[in-house]
A and B are shown apart, each in its own frame.
Chain A
Amino acid sequence: GENVEQHPSTLSVQEGDSAVIKCTYSDSASNYFPWYKQELGKRPQLIIDIRSNVGEKKDQRIAVTLNKTAKHFSLHITETQPEDSAVYFCAASKGGADGLTFGKGTHLIIQP
């Protein structure tokens, strides 16, 4: 089955700086790559997703890039703010019965 590796496990950045979280996947048939944000004590919520027919997608301060050849994708957050502090999960799916396979998460800490 699919295996998703996520790095780093913890990332601390100064407020206003950029943050980058990277994920790799193993199944070349995967074609959907969402990112979920989970604030402390709350449920995961989708923040952005990308499908395999595009290489990059942006939504305000958040962007995701996908390299199908290398089987990796990344989340980029620019001009970080305190409310960006959370655990971020990447995931991959090929649309079958296996569901989404999640990475282990990155704890993003925004330092004031």
Chain B
Amino acid sequence: GAGVSQSPSNKVTEKGKDVELRCDPISGHTALYWYRQSLGQGLEFLIYFQGNSAPDKSGLPSDRFSAERTGGSVSTLTIQRTQQEDSAVYLCASSSQGTTNEKLFFGSGTQLSVL
């Protein structure tokens, strides 16, 4: 595709349920990032993939959060036993070179609402 694609665009779930958020980066981009944006807040870094590996997972807010990337392309962010404080926009971004010192292309995000 022409840009970073995220699905679903909106997700409403009940507290305690698990959710999966998907990101399709721009074809050929080796680096992929997940950020979280709470209402009126900045962009909170969650995790970064270089290829299929994540050098540092310490940005994930809790052990309920996990992410994987397969085939150097699609990534899935999974939140288990969702809580109301997980409600936010989850943004995915990709970049071509694989370093963190370059332009990020963002997706439109997934608006997660936990009731």
Contacts and interface: CB of A to CB of B under 8 A. Distances in A.
Interface of A: 6, 31-32, 34, 36, 42-46, 49, 51, 89, 91, 93-105
Range for the number of chain B residues in contact with chain A? 20 to 34
Interface in B41-65: 41-45, 47-48, 50, 55-56, 59
B115 interface: no
A98 B56 CA distance: 7
A99 B101 contact: no
A95 B101 CA distance: 5
A45 B42 contact: no
Contacts of A102: 35, 42-45
A67 B45 CA distance: 25
Contacts of A42: 108
B100 A100 contact: yes
